Structure 1
Amino acid sequence: MKIYHDVLERKKNELINQVNAHPFLVRCRSGDVTMDELLRFLGQQGLYSRNFTRYLCALMANLPRNEDVLHLSENLFEELGLDESGDTPHHELYRAMLARFGIDLAEQTLTPGTFGLIDSMFQHCKDPNPASGLGALCLGAEALVPDVYTSIVAGFRAHQVPDKEISFFLIHIECDDGHAETIRDIMIDIAEKDEQQLNRMLAAGQALVDARLRFFDDILQQATVYA
């Protein structure tokens, strides 16, 4: 078990480093990011993340064990506000944040990078082999959230935006580590039964990070076009 855990952790850290090195997140952490770039991120991220429950449901349909479905359903319930905490559903928190910044998703146009990110996540999560969806959702998404959102928060703070206006990001910096660990444990169990699945998981995570980097490319390019 430890060897698979270590391999996944190394890949996770490698992918985090790749994402953190993107100029968009570097600009966020340095305080050089423009408000236009941040607002374009909010809109495009909203188009991607509004499908999160669909990604999760597609993956859950392919899991071999009911126990794994139950573990992932905890993530789903939290997103929908159906868990015992009684907190506001995450999609409503995001919609409220968009409204505060005057962003309507209905008026947003998918960039090629955003379309590619959505399509890649769907294709991996719909794969009958759950190793693809697990790798994509864990290594290519959930495991990246704390670092990506920490950079985004730094960018907004550089523009003196109060934390209460971006509480969605602050909440996810804290909670998505647990989400990633839940999925990672399922990945380890699958790898123990069939070591060949490990490479599929790693490849899926890399594919999603490559798509995420193209997503960030478009944020910078679109902001430049409309500057």
Structure 2
Amino acid sequence: MFAQGIKDQVETALAEVRAHPLVTSAEAGTLPLENAKRWVFCAGRESRSFPWILRELLSWTSDEKVRVILQENLNDELGADDPAHAHFLHYLHLLDDLGVPREDFDRYEERLGIKLALSLAFNVAKCRNAGQAIGYMLVNEAMTPVTYTAAKAALTHHFPSLQTNFFDLHIEVDDHHVAALYEAVDALPDEAEKDLRFGVALGQRGMEILLDEAYGVFDAHTDVISITAPEWNPLTGAGVSQEG
């Protein structure tokens, strides 16, 4: 059975995310406030879109065990029986506690990291491939305690009295979601292993490039580069190609 191999792959992915310089500097208390706030904006973009992703997965998933897991996850995101405890509302309260105007979140200029991370999530949600979807969800949920614990440490370093309900909720419930998703893995046929592994790789890729954005990797250039533009032709181009 391949389930142990999937667990090993997920653990490797978690170790690599823990080693990301954004995470290590957050845990060490050396992450600048500017980067910590940008991380909050990226996390908020992800939080705002996550219920849509879960609904899209539910629209085509036929496996009853997976449907129960996804529905429970969606219920948690929406606050279960109390909409006042919807996760995104807790996120907005986090902005308030940080003294960040909600308009600043709306105006945040998304760079390539969060754009790619959300694009991966949206495409996985629409791929209608159960193995890829479960693999993606599995590593995505497993990474939340790692990244949100680090984000909480970074912010409370700058704001010692900060209320962290947004992070605490996700850290608490996602461990349960991960355990349930591993039950779904056990129920999949052997031929789903390749798709599961690819889904895990996609989830890791999306998280790492989101962290890259918060760390400032894309600060020098925020637009998508068109390599079909004439200046990128090594035979006829000028400018960029001659500066290297």
Per-residue deviation, residues 108-127 of structure 1 (Å, max 9, x unmatched) = 11111000000001111211
Preserved CA contact (<8 Å) 1:20 1:26: yes
Query: Secondary structure at 1:18's aligned position in 2?
Result: helix
In the superposition, the TM-score normalised over structure 1's length comes to 0.88
Preserved CA contact (<8 Å) 2:39 2:151: no
User: Structure 2 CA distance, aligned partners of 1:175 and 1:87?
Assistant: 17
User: Structure 1 CA distance, aligned partners of 2:78 and 2:36?
Assistant: 26
Aligned amino acid, residue 93 of structure 2: A
Shift of 1:8: 2.2
User: Structure 2 CA distance, aligned partners of 1:128 and 1:88?
Assistant: 30
Q: How does 1:43-192 map to 2 (within 5 A)?
A: 43-83=41-81, 88-101=85-98, 102-104=100-102, 105-139=105-139, 141-164=140-163, 166-190=164-188
Aligned amino acid, residue 91 of structure 2: Y
Per-residue deviation, residues 142-187 of structure 1 (Å, max 9, x unmatched) = 01111111111221232243242x2211222121111122222112
Unaligned ranges ≥5, structure 2: 221-244
- Which of 97-106 and 119-128 deviates more? 97-106
Q: How does 1:187-198 map to 2 (within 5 A)?
A: 187-190=185-188, 193=189, 195-198=190-193
Unaligned ranges ≥5, structure 1: none
Per-residue deviation, residues 50-79 of structure 1 (Å, max 9, x unmatched) = 110111112222322234313321111111
Partner of 1:217: 212
- Seen in structure 2, the aligned counterparts of structure 1 residues 131 and 188 have a Cα distance that, compared at 3 Å, is same
Aligned amino acid, residue 93 of structure 1: H
User: Structure 2 CA distance, aligned partners of 1:189 and 1:50?
Assistant: 30
Shift of 1:34: 0.8
Aligned amino acid, residue 214 of structure 2: I
Aligned amino acid, residue 112 of structure 2: P
Query: Secondary structure at 2:31's aligned position in 1?
Result: coil
In the superposition, the TM-score normalised over structure 2's length comes to 0.82
Structure 1 runs of 4+ off > 4 angstroms? 222-225
Aligned amino acid, residue 170 of structure 1: D
Query: Secondary structure at 1:51's aligned position in 2?
Result: helix
- Give the number of equivalent residue pairs: 217
User: Structure 2 CA distance, aligned partners of 1:123 and 1:223?
Assistant: 22
Query: Secondary structure at 2:122's aligned position in 1?
Result: helix
Shift of 1:106: 1.4
- Which of 110-119 and 40-49 deviates more? 40-49
Partner of 1:208: 203
Partner of 2:238: none
Preserved CA contact (<8 Å) 2:56 2:125: yes
Preserved CA contact (<8 Å) 2:132 2:195: yes
Identity of aligned residues (%): 20
User: Structure 2 CA distance, aligned partners of 1:103 and 1:133?
Assistant: 35
Preserved CA contact (<8 Å) 2:66 2:184: yes
Preserved CA contact (<8 Å) 2:135 2:197: yes
User: Structure 1 CA distance, aligned partners of 2:132 and 2:58?
Assistant: 12
